[in-house]
């Protein structure tokens, strides 16, 4: 376009080529920083982990040797890993539905009346913002077998008490309840935003159509319209539940026995306490595989059921 | 089918009084349009009729039964919303079926999954699907039954909304600006279809719009609303020809009616912008009045003559059979607009002076407060100029 009308075909070709080269360079310059960060922060570490998982490297050791799939064989034969894997599944299966249901109920209750709406929202969001390390101390005090508020209240109404964090039967559910408490605010804020986005007309139409009871309105309008938000909440809460670590570290250290050993805690212990970096890397690979495939599965299944307007 | 009676309805939202005592009787099978500019309270009135809002005062009866305390479901009314308000996650068939499911299935039978296993649930659901199909066919959307609203055009969504309203044979149809989201061509087509639907069903229709063309073409009677009050309720031709209020005259008719301030000279004549018109008013001399002239009440006169009005052409709009001539006239606040037959008027150029005769039998007179002065014996056909 800019070429002189009298210019030879070769000159025109050169101009076009140099312009294209300029475009490519500009594109690289624009994409480059993001690509570099992605490479350095995500792709290379993942590749490194994959590599380390195939060795017997111990943290700080001068030498290492290639051991193939030995780490993975050990993982699947290891009773600790199996217990940890099972515990994690139970934990996720309590935390995800618990969080979604509680958050939805609280969001509906808060939305039902406009008074103090932002106050309630802030209160419920607080646990999500707070450092769990500090909160764990509060929980420990509450759950203390003799002086804890929970047991004292239960004793006052004549209900059975327990040593919540030191009992094999109660420790995992109690950690899961703390997990729900921690994630509730996050899910709640998303659900409240989702509820706000539902057009009023739809509720009016439902009213006219005869869906007047509380249950009918929820089933006809609210829940289907919250589909996309719910899907996002389920995926994010599931990921956060899989990654639960700080409560275990602060409150139980995986005990009693292996009753509260969760995947990330096992991974941490193998890698940073026992310094078996190769083995830890292998656990990481397994963990990553589970999380990624779960996310893909959820997105696939729920995408078909969820309506995006 | 039902008659509807609205008596002294008032409604306010915080400091704003939206409805100031609206009373209206609607006959069985009538097509009544609530017409008014946005914010005049017409949609609020419709929502009160549907039971979606509760009035502050007044009574609504359907077929002589007071329905003030009844839930929308029990009022036997159906409504078509401006946004159509279709359930986006349901197919067209399910959308149309909702009103029937809510009425015929018990709350247990309505539960997802579990409800389908209950006795009779499958049979009733099949019946409902059949009826939904029939209604869909009657509005020409039977081929869209398995689609979702997101995959439909505006006109198709509109039909689904109408089908959903029709499916349970309501006594009263309420329509809240149902055509305003459609393009101009489709709007004209759907207008005809709504008219046809009303004829076929024979039930009472209450239709809210701000579009006078819709109101004039569809209605048996038009109720003009402004600032929360009903100004006039009358058949379309009467609303146009005999508005009882200056605001009605201004709202109805396109282009707008020309309004000129005038003073009564004698009971038989008035003064307007330096000209004396033989318009009998019966008022005391010196009374201020407002003279309303519809654009088509002017006619072209090829040269100055007593009884014509000279004005400078400011803009000419060609409409094929007619011309809209905008002209500046001393004494008129806004340009006068005259509608002249193309074959009767030569080509006019801007800046030229055009002489306009006035059909005095068609002028409208208003008091300064806006109320209508009845026309009296206005037989003189032109105004006698003094220029």
CB contact under 8 A, A201 and B81: yes
Q: Does A227 touch chain B (CB under 8 A)?
A: yes
What pLDDT sits at residue B48?
Answer: 93
Which of A199, A209, A219 has its CB closest to that of B112?
A219
For residues A201 and A139, membership in a common domain is answered with: yes
What does the pLDDT look like over A209-248, one tens digit per residue? 888 788 888 888 998 899 888 888 888 898 888 888 888 8
At residue B25 the predicted structure's pLDDT band, cuts being 50, 70 and 90, is very high
CB contact under 8 A, B50 and A221: no
For residues B211-240, give the mean pLDDT: 92
Q: Does A33 touch chain B (CB under 8 A)?
A: no
Residue of chain B whose alpha carbon sits nearest to that of A210: B73
At residue A169 the predicted structure's pLDDT band, cuts being 50, 70 and 90, is confident
What pLDDT sits at residue A7?
Answer: 57
What does the pLDDT look like over A73-129, one tens digit per residue? 888 888 888 888 899 999 999 999 999 999 999 888 888 777 777 888 788 787 777
Which of B79, B87, B90 has its CB closest to that of A208?
B79
For residues A268 and A157, membership in a common domain is answered with: yes
What does the pLDDT look like over B170-185, one tens digit per residue? 989 999 998 888 888 8
Among B47, B52, B178, most A C-beta atoms within 10 A, so best to mutate, is B52
What pLDDT sits at residue B336?
Answer: 87
Residue of chain A whose alpha carbon sits nearest to that of B82: A201
pLDDT score of B33 more than 90: yes
Q: Does A29 touch chain B (CB under 8 A)?
A: no
What is the domain count for chain A? 2
Residue of chain A whose alpha carbon sits nearest to that of B96: A209
Considering only CB atoms, which chain A residues are within 8 Å of B73?
Answer: 207-210, 212
Task: Supply the CATH number for residue A89's domain.
Answer: 1.10.3720.10
pLDDT score of B384 more than 80: no
More confident residue, A209 or A61: A209
Is the separation of the CB atoms in B55 and B48 below 8 Å? Answer: yes
What pLDDT sits at residue A118?
Answer: 80
Q: What domains appear along chain B, each with residue ranges and CATH number?
A: 2-247 (3.40.50.300), 256-366 (2.40.50.140)
Distance CA B376, CA A123 (A): 74
Among A194, A203, A210, most B C-beta atoms within 10 A, so best to mutate, is A210
Among A202, A205, A215, most B C-beta atoms within 10 A, so best to mutate, is A205
For residues A25 and A111, membership in a common domain is answered with: no
What pLDDT sits at residue B387?
Answer: 34
Which of B51, B83, B111 has its CB closest to that of A201?
B83
Whether A63 is in a domain gets the answer no
CB contact under 8 A, B89 and A224: yes
CB contact under 8 A, B87 and A202: yes
Please determine, for the modelled complex, whether the ipTM score is greater than 0.90: no
Is residue A31 classed exposed, middle or buried when 0-12, 13-18 and 19+ CB atoms within 10 A define those classes? exposed
Count of A–B CB contacts within 8 Å? Answer: 71
Is the separation of the CB atoms in B10 and B49 below 8 Å? Answer: no
**Shortest Cα–Cα distance, B289 to chain A (Å):** 46
Q: Does A208 touch chain B (CB under 8 A)?
A: yes
pLDDT score of A1 more than 50: no
Most confident of A236-250, B123-137, B259-273: B123-137
For residues A151 and A5, membership in a common domain is answered with: no
Distance CA B275, CA B262 (A): 10
List all residues of chain A from 34 to 63 with a beta carbon under 8 Å from chain B: none
Residue ranges making up the domain that contains A177: 70-303
What does the pLDDT look like over B303-341, one tens digit per residue? 776 667 788 888 888 888 888 999 888 767 778 899 988
For residues A92 and A44, membership in a common domain is answered with: no
What pLDDT sits at residue B59?
Answer: 92
Distance CA A242, CA A89 (A): 8
Q: What is the CA radius of gyration of chain B?
A: 26
For residues A21 and A86, membership in a common domain is answered with: no
pLDDT score of A21 more than 80: yes
pLDDT score of B383 more than 70: no
The DSSP secondary structure of chain A, one letter per residue, reads --S-TT--HHHHHHHHHHHHHHHHHHHHHHHHHHHHHHIIIIIHHHHHHHHHHTB---TT-S---B-TTHHHHHHHH-HHHHHHHHHHHHHHHHHHHHHHHHHHHHHHHHHH--TTHHHHHHHHHHHHHS-HHHHHHHHHHHT-TTT-HHHHHHHHTTPPP--TTT-HHHHHHHHHHHHHHHHHHHHHHHHHHHHHTS-HHHHHHHHHHT--SHHHHIIIIIHHHTHHHHHHHHHHHHHHHHT--HHIIIIITT-STTTT--HHHHHHIIIIIS--HHHHHHHHHHHHHHHHHHHHHHHHHHHHH----
For residues A96 and A202, membership in a common domain is answered with: yes
Residues of chain B with pLDDT > 90, as a percent, come to 33
For residues A149 and A253, membership in a common domain is answered with: yes
At residue B376 the predicted structure's pLDDT band, cuts being 50, 70 and 90, is low
**Shortest Cα–Cα distance, A255 to chain B (Å):** 42
Considering only CB atoms, which chain B residues are within 8 Å of A220?
Answer: 87, 98
For residues A116 and A261, membership in a common domain is answered with: yes
What does the pLDDT look like over B66-91, one tens digit per residue? 998 888 888 889 999 999 999 998 99
For residues B18-29, give the mean pLDDT: 91
What pLDDT sits at residue A307?
Answer: 63
Whether A151 is in a domain gets the answer yes
Distance CA A214, CA B285 (A): 68
Residue of chain B whose alpha carbon sits nearest to that of A227: B89
> For the whole model, what pTM was predicted?
0.78
pLDDT score of B378 more than 50: no
Whether A65 is in a domain gets the answer no
Which of B78, B88, B148 has its CB closest to that of A208?
B78
Mean pLDDT, chain A, as a whole number? 84
Whether A152 is in a domain gets the answer yes
More confident residue, A136 or B188: B188
Mean pLDDT, chain B, as a whole number? 86
Residue of chain A whose alpha carbon sits nearest to that of B47: A204
At residue B160 the predicted structure's pLDDT band, cuts being 50, 70 and 90, is very high
Whether A60 is in a domain gets the answer no
For residues A33 and A85, membership in a common domain is answered with: no
Distance CA A292, CA B31 (A): 60
For residues B200-217, give the mean pLDDT: 92
For residues A147 and A243, membership in a common domain is answered with: yes
Whether A308 is in a domain gets the answer no
Considering only CB atoms, which chain A residues are within 8 Å of B76?
Answer: none
For residues A283 and A179, membership in a common domain is answered with: yes
Which of B82, B98, B148 has its CB closest to that of A220?
B98
């Amino acid at each position: 376009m800019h070429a002189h009308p009298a210019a030879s075909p070769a000159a025109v070709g050169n101009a076009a080529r140099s312009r294209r080269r300029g475009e490519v360079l500009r594109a690289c310059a624009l994409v480059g920083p993001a690509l570099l960060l992605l490479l350095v922060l995500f792709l290379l570490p993942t590749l490194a982990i994959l590599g380390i998982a195939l060795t017997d490297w111990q943290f700080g050791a001068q030498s290492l040797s290639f051991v193939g799939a030995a780490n993975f064989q050990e993982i699947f034969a290891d009773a600790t890993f199996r217990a940890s894997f099972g515990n994690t599944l139970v934990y996720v299966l309590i935390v995800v539905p618990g969080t979604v249901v509680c958050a939805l109920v609280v969001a509906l209750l808060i939305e039902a009346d406009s008074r103090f709406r932002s106050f309630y929202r802030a209160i419920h969001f607080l646990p999500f913002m707070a450092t769990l390390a500090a909160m764990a101390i509060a929980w420990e005090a509450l759950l203390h077998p003799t002086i804890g508020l929970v047991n004292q209240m239960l004793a006052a109404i004549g209900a059975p008490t327990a040593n919540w964090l030191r009992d094999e039967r109660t420790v995992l559910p109690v950690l899961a309840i703390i997990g729900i408490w921690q994630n509730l605010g996050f899910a709640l804020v998303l659900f409240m935003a989702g509820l706000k986005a539902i057009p009023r007309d739809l509720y009016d139409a439902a009213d006219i159509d005869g869906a007047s009871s509380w249950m009918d309105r929820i089933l006809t309008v609210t829940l289907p319209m919250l589909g996309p938000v719910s899907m996002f909440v389920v995926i994010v809460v599931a990921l956060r539940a899989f990654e639960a670590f700080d409560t275990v570290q602060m409150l139980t250290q995986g005990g009693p026995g292996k009753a509260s050993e969760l995947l990330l805690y096992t991974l941490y212990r193998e890698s940073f306490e026992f310094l078996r970096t190769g083995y830890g890397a292998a656990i990481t690979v397994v963990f990553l595989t589970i999380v990624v495939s779960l996310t893909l599965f959820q997105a696939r299944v729920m995408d078909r059921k969820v309506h995006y307007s | 089918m039902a008659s509807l009676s609205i008596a002294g309805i008032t409604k306010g939202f915080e400091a704003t009084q939206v409805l100031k005592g609206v009373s209206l009787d609607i006959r069985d099978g009538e097509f009544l349009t609530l017409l008014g500019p946005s914010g005049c309270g017409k949609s609020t009135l419709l929502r009160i009729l549907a039971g979606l809002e509760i009035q502050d005062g007044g009574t609504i009866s359907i077929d002589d039964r007071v329905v003030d305390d009844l839930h929308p479901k029990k009022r036997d009314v159906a409504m078509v919303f401006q946004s159509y308000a279709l359930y986006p996650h349901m197919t067209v068939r399910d959308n149309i079926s909702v009103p029937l499911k809510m009425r015929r299935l018990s709350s247990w039978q309505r539960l997802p999954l579990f409800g389908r296993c209950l006795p009779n649930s499958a049979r009733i659901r099949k019946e409902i699907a059949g009826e939904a199909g029939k209604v869909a066919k009657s509005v020409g959307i039977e081929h869209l039954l398995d689609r979702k609203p997101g995959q439909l055009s505006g006109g198709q969504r509109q039909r689904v909304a109408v089908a959903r309203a029709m499916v349970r044979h309501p006594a009263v149809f309420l329509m809240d600006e149902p055509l305003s989201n459609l393009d101009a061509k489709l709007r004209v087509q759907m207008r005809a279809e709504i008219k046809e639907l009303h004829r076929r069903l024979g039930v009472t229709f209450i239709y809210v719009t701000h579009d006078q063309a819709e109101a004039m073409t569809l209605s048996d009677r038009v109720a003009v609303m402004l600032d929360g009050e009903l100004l006039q309720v009358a058949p379309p031709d009467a609303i146009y020809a005999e508005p009882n209020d200056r605001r009605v005259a201004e709202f109805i008719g396109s282009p707008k009616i020309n309004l000129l301030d005038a003073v009564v000279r004698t009971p038989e004549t008035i003064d307007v912008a330096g000209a004396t018109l033989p318009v009998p008013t019966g008022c005391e001399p010196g009374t201020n009045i407002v003279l309303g002239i519809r654009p088509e009440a002017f006619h072209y006169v090829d040269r100055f003559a007593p009884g014509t009005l000279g004005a400078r052409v400011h803009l000419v709009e060609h409409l094929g059979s007619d011309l809209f001539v905008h002209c500046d006239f001393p004494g008129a606040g806004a340009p006068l607009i005259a509608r002249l037959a193309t074959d009767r008027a030569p080509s006019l150029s801007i800046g030229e002076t055009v002489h306009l005769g006035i059909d005095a039998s068609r002028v409208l007179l208003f008091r300064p407060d806006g109320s209508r002065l009845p026309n009296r014996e206005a037989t003189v056909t032109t105004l006698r100029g003094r220029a």
